[in-house]
Amino acid sequence: MHRLDEVVDTLLVLQKKHRIRFDVWQVVKRDHAIISFFDQGMNPAVPRVAYWTPFRYPLLLNLASLFDNELAEKAWCARLEAHDGRSSSLFSEVCSELLARVHTLGDRRYIELITDALSWAMTHFDELGYNCKTGKQKLQIMPNMVGFQFVLRGICSRLGAPNRKADIVVDQQSQFNTTQRELREFYYQIREMPWVHGPGLPVMDVTNMPAERWFSSRVQKVQGWSWLIYISGSSNALWKGRS
């Protein structure tokens, strides 16, 4: 993986010496922008079985194949634009271009589903809640926070049982610390409710989320575990992610 290959030999030596275990998650920024476009809001033009079952995955892949870098950039800009009018205009441009390309899919069922979904979205932008109105909302959808969700689920998996303590070191990007803490607290509140998305879809289990305030951006000691989030792509452009 980009840049990790520069330290892999050192890591292997340390791993064998200290029996270190690593969990690594990857967030590809361009993909994140497209998934964010796909997931935001409830669209009644999309049948339940097309979204709340494993059928969502080929549907998403077909939609993603219609995007190029420029269109992904525009979709992300619309997501971050606080002004409703400007965001709606960008969003409509994205939908229009996707509609012009949808015929290239070749599969009649996917063409129909995506056409119906985009046509409805273009005329009901206000009902989607697509654009972020505040700085806090923007932080919540950034790749850093998506990656941190993986970290929290990894912690739950590693702990193996409720009420065990864990420490985590996070980076020093202080603008995310409050949002990270709020997410941790939310996961703790829902720990007794398995998050079932739909039949055949993965169940998010955070039963083991610890209650203590183990979270810190300056913790120096970690109990033998490290979590790495690999954010792929330029820090300034989500649509230029590496594959």
- Model pTM score: 0.78
Cβ atoms of 235 and 183 within 8 Å: the answer is no
Is 43 in a helix, a strand, or coil? coil
* 96-145 pLDDT per residue, tens: 999 999 999 989 999 999 999 999 999 999 999 999 999 999 999 998 88
Boundaries of every domain in the chain: 4-29+136-240, 31-133
* 120-132 pLDDT per residue, tens: 999 999 999 999 9
172 has pLDDT over 60: no
Average pLDDT over residues 192-207: 84
Question: Which among 106, 105, 118 is positioned nearest to 46, based on CA atoms?
Answer: 118
Question: Which among 221, 76, 223 is positioned nearest to 160, based on CA atoms?
Answer: 223
Q: Count how many residues are written for the chain.
A: 243
Average pLDDT over residues 57-71: 96
234 has pLDDT over 60: no
* 84-99 pLDDT per residue, tens: 999 999 999 999 999 9
Range of weakest confidence among 62-66, 136-140, 164-168, 229-233: 229-233
Long-range interactions of 140-146: CB distance < 8 A, separation 24+: 140/179, 141/36, 141/79, 142/176, 143/27, 143/29, 143/32, 143/231, 143/238, 144/173, 144/176, 144/229, 144/231, 145/176, 145/179, 145/180, 145/183, 146/27, 146/32
The rounded distance, in Å, linking the Cα atoms of 50 and 42 is 12
